[in-house]
Every structure is written in structure tokens, then in C-alpha cells.
Structure 1
């Protein structure tokens, strides 16, 4: 009996050590959606937690916003932190997953984001294209075609972005969808098209948002739109098979508030991390500069984050301090 008890105790102790090692080995995960603005904030958080709290943090590639939220909500460690929650764009997901009793926490702090349609200033001035309603003129739409004569091309976002669905509605309700091919490609492809158009002196138009490195890289003009009106903004989620018919949007976006979200399991297992995430925030200009360092200067997201943190010790002290 005594031998058996010793064996059981030894087994239990070994199991406890194993479980402890497994728990310790699991890194905190932060979503990397592949575009520079969100990479900038994600890697700042990653490096911050590593350098200041001694945590092991892993960036996880995930390009679909709904998939990121589903992973957060599972609380299984697939994604613990998401640094690019745009409201109102992601409001339906926040309402679904980040309720008071939900499995995702939304940090209170936020910074401002803007959204709209951009073309180059040279194109806008040359062809008198300054308002979103100019796009419903077939001759002006043709400026953005391959040969300057046919249907225009407008980038409305990447597949998986919630704003891309919103832009599909806006293109219809602003009256220009019939004169354009609505393109959904990765942002890197859209940026390459913009760069080629600028170098060739041709027209380019598309969805744009700030903070973004392109505002520092090119002379862009944001087209005029009717001021945001809640009464003119009805968007039904694509989970409804009739979402497009039920949606109606005839005004500009409200300025966005960009938050950090994190899993409740992370808050429970690492309250020190949650406390820091509640303090982390940025300015629109800071994120644009981070994105510029990544997308234009060619730094890796981690290099850009380390350089930014080193240059902003007072900000870091405010995030980490009690």
C-alpha cells in the first residue's frame, strides 16, 4: 500500500509538472491581419508584453475579421488579442461577442479612424471629380477604366472586411455601381495598382481609411459625401440572405473609434496583461507613421514596433505604470 501511494504521489507530481509546463508553454496570441496599420498596433502590443511583462507572445496570421472574432470567442488561445476593432464597422460582432457576459472584452480606450473614397489629387483636379456623386457620370467613371472609355474600376476593400459589404451597399445607393466594376482584392494588390496608376499618370479610385501610410506616400483627395446621418444608414449583416436588399446607406461614415479586444480567458489567466491592454491606445498619426515604416520603409512589423517603443518611453511608462 505504501509503495502504491508513493507511486500515485509521484505520478500526480509528474502530471502537475507536465500540466504546468504545458500551460507555461502556451504563448499569448495576437492577430496579424496582414495590413500595415493593424500590424503596427499588433506588434507594438506583442513587443510591449514581451519586453515589459516578460510574456511569450506569438503573432497569428488571420485575414478575415469574422474569423478573428470567432477565434477570440472560443477562448482557446487561437487568438487572444485583436488590436483593430473598428466601430461602427464591427459593431455587430462586438454586440455578439463582447457583451457584459460574453467571452470577449472590449478595451475602453480608442483612437479615431476615418473612411471614405480616395483618388489622386491630380486625377480629381484634371477631371473635376471631387464628390461621390461625380462617379455616376459615365464619362467621369470611364477615367478609371483601363482604356479611358469603358466601365471604371473601383476598389471597395478586401474579401473578409466588413467594410467591403458596406461599400457594396454604398456603391449601389450612391448611384455609381452601374458604371464601375467593384473590385475586392487584397489591400497589397490595391496599393500596387494605385502606385502603378500614379507612376503612369492614370486614374485610380477606391475605398480608403485613415490612419494609413498612403496619405503620407501620395497626394490623395477624399471625395465629398453627405454628412453622416444615422437615419440614412441601415446595414443588415450578410448572415441574412436578403441583406443587400434590406440595407440602405446614403451618407458618409461616422468617424470610427478603434479599440483593442481580448479574450476573457486571457483576462482571467493574465490579469496583468489585461490591465495593460486597457491602457494601451494610439493616435491616428502614430499609427499612420507605424504603417509607413512597414509598408513604405520596408521594416518588418516587429522592427517598426521596437523602434516606435524605443522612441516613446513616456508612452510606454504610462501604459505599464499603476
Structure 2
């Protein structure tokens, strides 16, 4: 069976039609699947962290005999898709701060399965060589520009809040683009020993590749330590109990995630990187699948 990845959809309507087709045409809170179904749709945000985790979980399910579709979506649409039963689950929810708005809006219509990774963090990140250690210390660095990622991302909303919280950032601007464009800009600035301030999060491969540091956030605009969490659509436990079990049991460490991210960053296909990690960590995978009906 082939692990498939859908092209990113630009409009929620198109997304709904496509996911409804994958789920048998039902756009309600359940997919209409029965326990004999072998089709699974996992939604995720195209961040390096979630590309790694979703590919690993997807590959584990494929190894169990499921036909798995991975659907990359904008953050808010991901939450909505799972809440409406248009996708079966996600392992990409950053809480309690980054996705707080989406959690408040959609969690009542979701099956909350708990954290799958602890020790996550978001904030403003700079090269170690920059002579600044706190957001409050910023004056005219990097042309008073913060290089961000997607407009709908939780870290983007947190950065917009920081621009309001810190008086010294009153004249600063946030430039949004994508996580890939952000890391490209970071790489270029580091090679030229230039100033740059980016919206950053960890786990992330950039902290292993580059000498970086978080700026202190005394006003707490970015919140504290976070966890990455798993959610499933309502009814998944009844429709696909083994899939629900794997999602519920899935848990790994920042080091696990970073090892997969590093391989992907070095050019390996995400599916192949997931296979490599699974092959090297059979004991952890066994913990996720031990309760699956054999």
C-alpha cells in the first residue's frame, strides 16, 4: 500500500469536498466507516515537526495494513477538518498557547487523546553572535523586522501580541511567509553574519544545525513550555479502533523527532526517514501498537 500526500488546498470548500470524497462522502461528525475499513486520513500543518511526526505515525499505520493519506493544511483548517470528521486525526496540536484559539473553538467536537511530545517551545530566535538576549533589549536590530512563517500560525498570533506587549517594538514589523522561507532567510543571514530575528520553535532541526538562542520573553507573550498533542475525530474509536489505539498510544521525545527532521532536512524523503526511524526504534513502536488486535 502506498502512503499518499495530497496537495495543499487553498480554500476550505475545496478541502471539504476532497476530504469528503476520501471519507465516503460524509461531511458530518463521523466518516461513515466501519471497522473493516482500511482507509485513514491524517491532517497536519506543514511544519518540520509535524511533517516528521505525521509521517512516522502514518507509516506505522501503513505497516499495520492501512491505506493512509496525509493531508497538509493550514492550521485552522486542520482543526476544522478533524472536528467535522473530514480527517480522522492529527498529532500536530501545540498547547496550551500556540493553538489556544483553535482549541477553544473546536475541542468540544474532538476526541482529545493527550500529549505526544513534551518540552516544546516557541519564541523569537536570533543567532548566538547577536548582542541581544531579551525582547526588551531590541532596538534597531535586523532593520526592525521579524521574519515569520504562515499568517495563520499560532506563533504568528503570539508575535503580533508581542508587538503590542513590548513598547520598544511599536515601530517593528512582522513579515509572514512560510516556515521554509523563514529557514532559508535564516540560513542566508547566518552565512553572511547578518542580523536576523525569526519566529522559532523547538523541537526543530535548526537548533542542531546552527548556533541560535531564544530571546527572553519577560512579558510572557509566547507563554511557557508547551506540549504537542493528539486529537481524533468523534467516532474514530468505534469506526477504526486500532487506528484510535495507535494514535492514543503515540508518544516520543524531542530527540526522536529531531532525528527524523534531520534526515528530512538532509534530503531524505519524509516517508523513507520515517521508515528508518521505525526500523531503529522497534521497542517504541511496539508500545504504540501493543494493544492493536492481532
- Taking structure 2 as the reference length, the TM-score comes to 0.82
Which of these residues, 92, 100, 117, is aligned with residue 111 of structure 1? Answer: 117
- Distance of 1:321 and 1:250 partners within structure 2: 40
Q: Give the aligned partner of residue 134 of structure 1.
A: 137
Does the 8 Å CA contact 1:27/1:55 hold for their aligned counterparts? yes
Unaligned residue ranges in structure 2 (runs of 5+): 1-23, 26-32
The one-character-per-residue Cα deviations of 1:54-96 (angstroms, maximum 9, x if unpaired) are 111011121x111111111111xx3212111100122332333
Alignment of 1:156-195 (within 5 A): 156-195=148-187
Which of these residues, 43, 50, 63, is aligned with residue 55 of structure 2? Answer: 43
Q: 1:206 to 1:85 in 2, by over 3 A?
A: same
Q: Give the aligned partner of residue 59 of structure 1.
A: 70
- Distance of 1:225 and 1:108 partners within structure 2: 27
Q: Give the aligned partner of residue 196 of structure 2.
A: 204
Output the aligned Cα RMSD. Answer: 2.1
Return the offset for 1:266. Answer: 2.3
Q: 1:287 to 1:61 in 2, by over 3 A?
A: same
Which of these residues, 153, 169, 191, is aligned with residue 145 of structure 2? Answer: 153
Return the offset for 1:257. Answer: 1.3
Return the offset for 1:98. Answer: 2.5
Does the 8 Å CA contact 2:121/2:226 hold for their aligned counterparts? yes
Does the 8 Å CA contact 1:109/1:278 hold for their aligned counterparts? no
**Structure 2 residue 105 is matched with structure 1 residue 96:** yes
Return the offset for 1:300. Answer: 1.4
Q: 1:278 to 1:198 in 2, by over 3 A?
A: same
Does the 8 Å CA contact 2:49/2:204 hold for their aligned counterparts? yes
Q: 1:165 to 1:109 in 2, by over 3 A?
A: closer
Q: 1:316 to 1:250 in 2, by over 3 A?
A: closer
- Distance of 1:203 and 1:253 partners within structure 2: 25
Rg larger in structure? 1
Return the offset for 1:273. Answer: 1.0
- Distance of 1:208 and 1:130 partners within structure 2: 15
Which of these residues, 251, 259, 275, is aligned with residue 245 of structure 2? Answer: 275
- Distance of 2:106 and 2:44 partners within structure 1: 20
Does the 8 Å CA contact 1:174/1:250 hold for their aligned counterparts? no
- Taking structure 1 as the reference length, the TM-score comes to 0.75
Return the offset for 1:201. Answer: 1.2
Query: How many residues are aligned here?
Result: 258
